[in-house]
A and B are shown apart, each in its own frame.
Chain A
Amino acid sequence: MSKPELNNRIRVFRAEHRMSQAELASAIGVSRKTINTIEVGRFVPSTIIALQIARHFEVPVEEIFSIT
């Protein structure tokens, strides 16, 4: 079985809310680099960060993150 990969739709949600990475980062209390590296798949966020992002966009976490 191959290693699962985490996909995310943060960029899509940011675009819908017309938010910059810096604004989202400030809103959930992480650095801009953290948001950037999550978006491009370089960093797998902790459960807390994933839930904070989902809560910010008011959607279930599965709508933002999925594994393939």
Chain B
Amino acid sequence: MPSPHEPNVADMFDRHRRRIMLAMLLVGLMSAGRAFRYVVAEETEIYLQAMIIGCALGVAAIIATVAYWKIFKLPADQRQQYFSYDGFVTDAIDRAKNISFVVTFVVVSVFAGLDEMLSRPPFVDVPTVFYFNVIAALMLITLGSVFFFLDRDGGEPEPEWDAGA
């Protein structure tokens, strides 16, 4: 049995997966910011720009730390385990992906059904990239939000016999 003082690699895998999901959420917020730039007043645009830059820096920091850890810190024999690791957080990501897919599919289907309305002003006044950003934002924000909802607490506290561990 590994020593209780040794860090649990699976806990590190979970932490890194959570960081990647946080990066996904931030990319979703960036897409939302880019989409809203077309529909808000010019004076508000500066705040959206600041939010986009903040999110981009956050994503870059997360990706850099995760990549550094995976390339330089994770022993070669554990890299395969990282991708095949099976646990609660991996399951929560899978469930969040399923829900995100369904939500995105339903919204795109509704958009497709509203083609007549969307082909009239003011909907045709915004560029196509607005819709791409809305869809990307919806997909990634749903993915991140559902994941953090499923992962929201650590469960029940450990009972008394665990106290000394």
Contact = CB atoms under 8 A, between A and B. Distances in A.
Interface of A: 11, 14-15, 18-23, 25-27, 29-34, 36-40, 42-43, 46, 48-49
B127 interface: no
A35 to B, nearest CB: 9
- Chain A residues touching B, majority SS: helix
Given A25-B10, A33-B155, A39-B156, 7 more contacts: A14-B161, A15-B159, A20-B162, A23-B4, A31-B88, A37-B155, A48-B86
B11 A40 contact: no
Please classify how large the interface on chain B is, using the bins under 10, 10 to 19, 20 to 34, 35 or more: 20 to 34
A34 B10 contact: yes
Nearest to B87: A34
Contact of A26 (B2, B89, B91): B2
Nearest to A29: B10
Interface in B106-125: none
B86 A49 contact: yes
